Amino acid sequence: MKTTKWILFAFLSLGVGVYPLVYLAVQGKFGLLFTKSDELLSNTLWNVAFYQHIIFGGIALLTGWSQFSARLRQKYVSTHHLVGKIYVAVCLLSGSAAFYLAFHATGGWIAGLGFGGLAVSWLFTTTKAFLAIRQKQISQHQAWMIRSYALTWAAVTLRVYLPLGQVAQFDFIEAYRVIAWLCWVPNLMVAEWIISRMRIRISV
């Protein structure tokens, strides 16, 4: 069961991690771009932020999942450190772009607050994880990394909830406003549950 969960975790992380390549390959509007106005799509700053967000966010998904394998961490210590630095860098690049994009979110201010909260939380948790390892605070680093990657995984849960909303025939805009929060708040709650279980095992 544990192996099955790990395989599913890695599969979804890698699958959604390469998803931004579709935006680079397809000419014209694709996916959420259909919800954007032509005026916004012609805005250079928005386009730079959009592609900065999806490309570096994809790299965060592709690199972050492997950091949770104890076997890989112990066997390839230097690689773990290198991949960790890459992860932090791409999270900060993607998260800063995401904060800007939140001001132009589909669904108005409710969705904007949701995605803005995600961006700020992502930047904060990733920075805390980096500062903790710099200070050799291993357990704190692990806890903050779990929170950070739980927020990175909002990209996965977002793409799970969007088609479910369509299947349920919810109004897209109304559903998107809910999903702007649903894609990351439960993830963070699960992260806290995982961290609490880790602390119980350590104390025992």
| Domain residue extents for the chain | 2-203
For residues 24 and 86, the model is more confident at 86
CA distance 120 to 116: 6
Q: Is the pLDDT confidence value at 199 over 90?
A: no
Mean pLDDT rounded to a whole number for the chain: 89
Res 77: pLDDT: 80
Res 95: pLDDT: 97
Res 203: pLDDT: 44
What mean pLDDT comes out for the span 10-19?
Answer: 85
Neighbours of 111 (CB within 10 A): 19
65-74, 131-140, 169-178: which has the minimum mean pLDDT?
65-74
CA distance 91 to 130: 11
Res 178: pLDDT: 96
DSSP-assigned letter for residue 28: S
Work out the burial of residue 151: count CB atoms within 10 Å of its CB; fewer than 13 is exposed, 13-18 middle, 19 or more buried.
buried
Res 201: pLDDT: 56
What mean pLDDT comes out for the span 157-166?
Answer: 91
Q: Is the pLDDT confidence value at 16 over 90?
A: no
Res 204: pLDDT: 35
